[in-house]
């Protein structure tokens, strides 16, 4: 397969495959990928710079291809900001911060742990159980934070909540829990109020 095809198969934004080889014993793949962006924004002064100080290669695990492990050798670039003199490294957005796995592999690992166990996810994706645990905790924390931002305040009470308020002796019932009587009760002949 040519490198342009590998780049399309990977589908990782801002990364391009520059080399591909079979893994040890003919199992899996190792792809070298480089960022397509040649400039970066300085986190200190917020100016763009294209001055590269040095490049490093980082091994990143990705989702398997056709059941075969995929290891990416990702080039990370350290830039030098000429205006402020600071050095900074730009990490690809597809890599889960603080780990050596892609975000999509981390999501798949978390989903696998949710329906099975840490050891099953570890065996499925050929990663140590301790690594899977750290990744699982990071993704769950991110999902909780994302969910907290999307929650809306309660504006209506359902039947169950009204029932709880009516039967709570410690607090007076709310006006929403009180049924409104619109008619006077009809009394049978001879009954007194």
Residue 103: predicted pLDDT: 94
Same domain, 32 and 108: no
Q: Could you give the number of structural domains in the chain?
A: 2
Rounded distance between C-alpha atoms, residue 110 and residue 146, angstroms = 15
Task: Quote the domain boundaries for residue 72.
Answer: 8-94
Least Cα distance to 10 among 30, 27, 37 occurs for 30
Same domain, 83 and 106: no
Q: Which residue has the higher pLDDT, 183 or 104?
A: 104
Same domain, 62 and 15: yes
167 is a domain residue = no
Residue 190: predicted pLDDT: 57
Which of these three, 44, 67, 94, is where a domain ends?
94
pLDDT tens-digit map of 19-77: 999 988 888 899 999 988 888 888 888 888 888 888 889 999 999 988 889 999 999 88
Which of these three, 67, 94, 121, is where a domain ends?
94
68 is a domain residue = yes
Same domain, 74 and 110: no
For residue 151, give every residue at least 6 positions away whose Cβ sits within 8 Å of its Cβ, in sequence order, or none.
none
Q: Which residue has the higher pLDDT, 95 or 173?
A: 95
Strands 48-49, 40-41: pairing kind: antiparallel
Same domain, 33 and 103: no
Other C-beta atoms within 10 Å of 54: how many? Answer: 11
Tell me the pLDDT of the chain averaged across its residues. 83
Same domain, 115 and 70: no
pTM, to two decimals: 0.70
176 is a domain residue = no
177 is a domain residue = no
Same domain, 119 and 88: no
Same domain, 60 and 35: yes
Same domain, 85 and 114: no
Same domain, 87 and 101: no
- Find the CATH number of the domain harbouring 131: 1.10.10
């Amino acid at each position: 397969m040519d490198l342009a095809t590998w780049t399309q198969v990977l589908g990782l934004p801002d990364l391009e495959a520059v080399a591909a080889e079979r893994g040890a014993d003919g199992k899996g793949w190792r792809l070298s990928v480089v960022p397509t962006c040649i400039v970066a924004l300085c986190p200190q002064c917020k100016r763009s710079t294209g001055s590269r100080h040095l490049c490093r290669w980082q091994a990143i695990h990705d989702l398997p291809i056709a059941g075969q492990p995929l290891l990416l050798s990702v080039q990370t670039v350290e830039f030098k900001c000429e205006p402020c003199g600071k050095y900074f490294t730009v990490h690809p957005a597809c890599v889960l911060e603080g780990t050596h796995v892609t975000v999509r592999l981390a999501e798949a690992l978390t989903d696998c742990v949710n329906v099975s166990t840490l050891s099953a996810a570890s065996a499925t994706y050929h990663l140590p159980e301790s690594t899977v645990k750290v990744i699982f905790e990071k993704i769950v924390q991110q999902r909780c934070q994302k969910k907290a931002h999307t929650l809306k305040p309660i504006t209506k009470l359902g039947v169950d909540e009204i029932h709880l308020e009516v039967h709570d002796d410690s607090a007076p019932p709310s006006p929403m829990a009180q049924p409104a009587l619109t008619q006077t009760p009809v009394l049978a002949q001879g009954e007194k109020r």
